[in-house]
Every structure is written in structure tokens, then in C-alpha cells.
């Protein structure tokens, strides 16, 4: 079973936090520091799931998920938005972009593994 997760997050502290939670729960973790690297590593490592930050320089999370879902190689990867946008309008916009799920920042260390489990096949 593919237990590989890609974290795409430009903030180092958040990246370390997500990495530690996922490792603790037995996932194999790959990291990317921006959208460009995230798309490249998604193709290279074929994770079953991606945790995608929204606000990043260059290709942001919304642009990145559109690119991933438009590409035959990566369209089946589950992509979860990790977002600090709290407003309802923003969430609708985020989910319309192609994300499979979302989790708000600050990330709840108990909620995250439950959300990921929903997408394990």
C-alpha cells in the first residue's frame, strides 16, 4: 500500500510540524518548499496524498492543485488544502479549485490523521 505523503508548504515551522505528525502515524513523508517543487515531486514520487499550503510565492496552492488535477500523471492523487483562510467564501473558492478536502491552520494534531484516513484506499 502506498503510504507516501507529499507536504507542499513554504513555512519551515509548519513543514516540520506536519512532517512530525505524519511520521508519528507511520507515513512516508516527502517535502516541497513551493508550488513548482510540489508539482515536480508529485510526478517524481507519486504520493497517494498531498498536503498543500494555499499561500505561497510563485505557484500558490490553488494554481498548483489545478495543474495537478489537469495532468493525467497526477490527477488521482488526493490533495488536501492546508489553509489559514477562515472565511466561508474563501473555503468555497478553495474547494471549487479541485481540492479533495481541507484542514485549517493552526493544524490540529489529532484531526489531521483522521482527515488523511478518510482518503486512504
Residues found near Mg ion in the complex (CB under 5 A): 10, 53, 55-56
Q: CA nearest 50: which of 74, 80, 24?
A: 80
Shortest approach of Mg ion to residue 72 CB, angstroms? 28
Q: CB–CB of 85/112 below 8 Å? A: no
Shortest approach of Mg ion to residue 56 CB, angstroms? 5
64: which 3 cell numbers? 498548483
Shortest approach of Mg ion to residue 58 CB, angstroms? 11
Q: Rank residues 29 and 82 by Cβ distance to Mg ion and give the closer one.
A: 82
Residues 47, 29, 101, 44: is their CA dihedral positive or negative?
Answer: negative
Q: Rank residues 2 and 93 by Cβ distance to Mg ion and give the closer one.
A: 93
Amino acid at each position: 500500500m502506498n503510504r507516501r505523503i507529499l507536504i507542499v508548504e513554504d513555512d519551515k515551522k509548519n513543514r516540520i510540524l506536519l512532517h512530525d505528525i505524519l511520521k508519528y502515524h507511520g507515513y512516508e513523508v516527502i517535502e516541497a518548499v513551493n508550488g513548482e517543487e510540489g508539482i515536480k515531486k508529485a510526478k517524481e514520487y507519486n504520493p497517494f496524498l498531498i498536503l498543500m499550503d494555499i499561500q505561497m510565492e510563485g505557484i500558490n496552492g490553488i494554481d498548483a492543485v489545478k495543474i495537478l488535477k489537469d495532468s493525467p500523471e497526477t490527477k488521482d492523487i488526493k490533495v488536501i488544502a492546508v489553509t489559514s483562510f477562515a472565511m466561508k467564501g474563501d473555503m468555497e473558492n478553495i474547494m471549487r479549485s479541485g481540492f479533495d478536502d481541507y484542514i485549517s491552520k493552526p493544524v490540529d494534531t489529532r484531526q489531521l490523521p483522521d482527515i488523511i484516513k478518510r482518503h486512504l484506499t
